[in-house]
Amino acid sequence: MKPILPSLTLVRRLAAPPGRVFEAWTDPALVAQWFGPQRTHVDQAELDLRVGGEFRIALVEDDEVRTGKGTKHVACGRYLAIEAPKLLKFSWWWASSAERVSQVTVTLRAIAGGTELTLLHEQLPDIATAARHTRGWAEALDRLVVLAAV
């Protein structure tokens, strides 16, 4: 029997219609404005938005003061399902550990005043990784909420 792998679920309400929120996930220029936890910025976002297409988003930590240069992390994945403007499903891995593949599902639902976003990240390898991803996604989604309100 396969072990049950950790997952995480986050929900946010955004003051923008689902189409605009979907665009924030699928337009590289918009992704660069919110993607990643606090104290990071997107150095490069490449998105091949089609089922089977891949994405690659390079995040740089804003730690120049401490180290003299920002530490770089590259998030990668492959789109598994795209249903604009309500669903994105994709595989997820870090370029530094491509053998550890998990899966993310983003569901967008119209509500009064905007959109309810549910992010489900499944098949994480362990509890520690789930905790780090919970923090990272929570901070990124908080940045998205601010962007959507503009």
Fold for 8-36+81-149, please state it.
Alpha-D-Glucose-1,6-Bisphosphate; Chain A, domain 4 (3.30.530)
pTM: 0.93
Give the DSSP H or E segment for 29.
helix 28-34
Backbone angles phi, psi at 23, to 5 degrees: -60, -35
CA distance 107 to 94: 22
Residuewise pLDDT in 10s, the chain (150 residues): 777 899 999 999 999 999 999 999 999 999 999 999 999 999 999 999 999 999 999 999 987 655 557 789 999 999 999 999 999 999 999 999 988 999 999 999 999 999 999 999 999 999 999 999 999 999 999 999 999 998
Domain ranges of the chain: 8-36+81-149
Q: Which residue has the tokens 């089609």?
A: 50
Residue 27 to residues 10, 86, 117: CA-CA distances in angstroms?
22, 15, 17
Cα angle value 6/124/1 (rounded, 5°): 65
